[in-house]
Amino acid sequence: MNELLKALADHDRQREAPETVELRLRSAFRRKYAHPKWPYFAVAASVVIALLVYSPQKPQTMEIAVVTPPVPVLAVNKTAPRKTVLHSSRPTEVVTEFYSLMEDAPPFEQGELLRVSLPAAAMRGVGLPVDEDRLADMVQADVLVGQEGLARAIRFVNTNVNRP
Amino acid sequence: MQQTDYELLLLMLSGDEEAFTMLYRRRQGPVYRFALQMTGNIVIAEDVTQEVFMALISKTAKYDPARGTLASFLYGIARNMVLRRLEKTAEIEDYAGPEDILDDLTRRETIEGVRRAVLSLPPVYREAIVLCDLQDTSYEDAALVLDCPIGTVRSRLNRGRSMLAQKLAVRV
């Protein structure tokens, strides 16, 4: 009987939901997230990042978000809608894991992912090694901003992977 | 570096459509097959798959990584939806008698005969067979999905296999 069950499992293994389901879901997803309600998140994220850069040894706490940054706010660009090329065998960017910027964060419900540019020195703030002569180089990072407008986590992005 | 299901879920909840698409493509197959093997109905399987992921999008289903894998969580949502469908729509269950099934087998329709035999099991045994024997889910994950102890999963599995063997007239 095990062989019969295995035959059925093997027979069904390639069966998947039709593509129309994915299209309907992606359409629903776009409707759900079409109008981001937190434009001020970008500013809050910049403040946290600026402090992350200039006070790398200090613990990242909630208080940081309300302190005026000691330097001009870094340019923050919201992640532009990306064309999805999921089947590409050649990745165009590599990301680190997410590093938490908050301790005892409340449960994550919703928020935004912001793509920002910042000095490589910020990577030291989360313990990543950076050569002294590259500290001022600009690097890309994604900041995860929660529903309350505070930056919760950051990951660094290498966008120069496998460029033809 | 491949992102975990949970990382994709966090990105998705931040509005990242690419992350949602990756998560959907990674997990829709098992959800669809579970619903299909539980109901034998492709329309219901399609509906259940859509409803499971809509629950994620609309946040009516909230995943807690401390309570198990995202795959188990999705099976759990799918199971609730399937059981509701089975309660409402009795006619989708095709309780084939042993004679019909043997007839199928002699016509070398082995696969569909086994499928009909599985569908003819009571849901409580069918879901154990579908999860553990057809979907290769571990007993531990199946216990999470079915919300029962591992020992209960084993006993339902044994009973389900025994009933299947009788229906298929195969000695085990």
**Residue B41's CATH number:** 1.10.1740.10
Compare CB distances from A112 to B14, B135, B170 and report the shortest one's residue: B14
Do B84 and B136 belong together in one domain?
A: no
Tell me: the pLDDT tens digits for B21-50? 999 999 999 999 999 999 999 999 999 999
Do B18 and B89 belong together in one domain?
A: yes
Do B51 and B73 belong together in one domain?
A: yes
Which of B49, B71, B93 is the last residue before a domain boundary? B93
Instruction: Give the integer Cα–Cα distance in Å for A127 and A81.
Output: 30
Tell me: the pLDDT tens digits for B104-144? 555 557 788 889 999 999 999 999 999 999 999 999 999 99
Do B108 and B88 belong together in one domain?
A: no
Instruction: Give the integer Cα–Cα distance in Å for B89 and B86.
Output: 5
> In the numeric block, which tokens belong to residue A89?
């065998």
Q: Measured between alpha carbons, how far is residue A141 from residues A16, A30, A76, B22, B113 in Å?
A: 35, 23, 10, 21, 55
| Domain count for chain B | 2
Cβ A1–B134 below 8 Å, yes or no? no
Do B76 and B39 belong together in one domain?
A: yes
Residue A143, C-beta contacts closer than 8 angstroms, at least 6 positions apart:
A45, A48, A49, A113, A114, A116, A151, A153, A154
Q: How confident is the model at residue A25 (pLDDT cuts 50, 70, 90)?
A: very high
ipTM of the complex in this document: 0.80
Find, among B34, B41, B47, the residue nearest to B92 by Cα. B41
Range of the domain at A149: 37-158
Residue B36, SS3 per DSSP: helix
Do B52 and B38 belong together in one domain?
A: yes
Which of B93, B128, B145 is the last residue before a domain boundary? B93
Range of the domain at B63: 1-93
Q: What residues 59-118 of chain B have any CB closer than 8 A to a CB of chain A?
A: 59, 110-111, 114-115, 118
In a domain, A8, yes or no: no
Cβ B54–A28 below 8 Å, yes or no? yes
Instruction: Give the integer Cα–Cα distance in Å for B19 and B11.
Output: 6
Element of type H or E holding A114: strand A111-119
In a domain, A30, yes or no: no
